[in-house]
């Protein structure tokens, strides 16, 4: 089985922690599933930490350092600030897998808005008070299906 890796010449603007973490992950030959189990977080959140898109708690850093055999103080120094999000994906995405998600927004954006507005009123689904997960399903004919769930708090526009 192949593992997700990071080629830093392709991602020159990711934080220093990304290289540290991916390097150790490759060395330890660990999947995100394993790492997520170890730190007790969702796989997507775990990968997001690796890409500098989610904050690791002090405890997360300890567990990551342990599992991945990274010097704790180096990892702590690289991860203890606040994530500077949004620098990993260039938009519109050129990567085919990520483009498909972008295309879903492009095609169904107003349909989602219409349905959400009629169900909840005037507001948005938060992308901050938010969680997401990925599941694998296999149907009767042996086809695999990816299921991504997005769950965000509904925030009504304030009246002022």
- Among all residues, which ones are annotated catalytic? 100, 103, 126
- Site map (CB under 8 A) of a second copy, residues 14-53, x = contact: xxxx--------x----xxx-------xxxxx-xx-xxxx
- Tell which residue, 31, 34, 25, 41, has the closest CA to residue 75: 25
The CB-of-91 to a second copy minimum distance in angstroms stands at 6
Among residues 73, 100, 140, 142, the one that binds a second copy under rule CB under 8 A:
100
From the number of C-beta atoms within 10 Å of its C-beta (0-12, 13-18, 19+), residue 40 rates as exposed
CA distance 121 to 145: 32
Q: Does 141 bind a second copy (CB under 8 A)?
A: no
The CB-of-96 to a second copy minimum distance in angstroms stands at 5
Cα-Cα end-to-end distance for the chain = 55
- Site map (CB under 8 A) of a second copy, residues 77-96, x = contact: xx-xxxxxxxxxx-xxxxxx
**HEC states along 51-97?**
CCCCCCCHHHHHHHHHHHCCCHHHHHHHHCCCCCCCCCCCCCCCCHH
Among residues 3, 37, 66, 69, the one that binds a second copy under rule CB under 8 A:
3
The CB-of-73 to a second copy minimum distance in angstroms stands at 12
Q: Does 59 bind a second copy (CB under 8 A)?
A: no
The CB-of-68 to a second copy minimum distance in angstroms stands at 15
Q: Does 74 bind a second copy (CB under 8 A)?
A: no
Nearest-10 Cα torsion for 110, 112, 114, 119 = -170
CB closer to a second copy, 66 vs 90: 90
């Amino acid at each position: 089985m192949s593992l997700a890796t990071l080629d830093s010449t392709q991602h020159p603007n990711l934080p220093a922690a990304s290289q540290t973490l991916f390097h150790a992950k490759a060395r330890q030959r660990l999947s995100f599933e394993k790492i997520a189990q170890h730190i007790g977080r969702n796989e997507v959140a775990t990968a997001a930490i690796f890409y500098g898109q989610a904050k690791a708690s002090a405890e997360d850093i300890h567990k990551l350092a342990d599992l991945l055999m990274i010097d704790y103080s180096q990892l702590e120094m690289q991860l203890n600030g606040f994530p500077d999000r949004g620098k990993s994906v260039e938009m519109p995405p050129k990567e085919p897998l990520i483009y498909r998600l972008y295309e879903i927004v492009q095609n169904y954006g107003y349909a989602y808005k219409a349905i959400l507005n009629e169900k909840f009123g005037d507001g948005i689904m938060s992308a901050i008070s938010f969680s997401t997960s990925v599941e694998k399903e296999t149907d009767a004919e042996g086809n695999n299906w990816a299921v991504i769930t997005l769950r965000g708090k509904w925030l009504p526009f304030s009246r002022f």
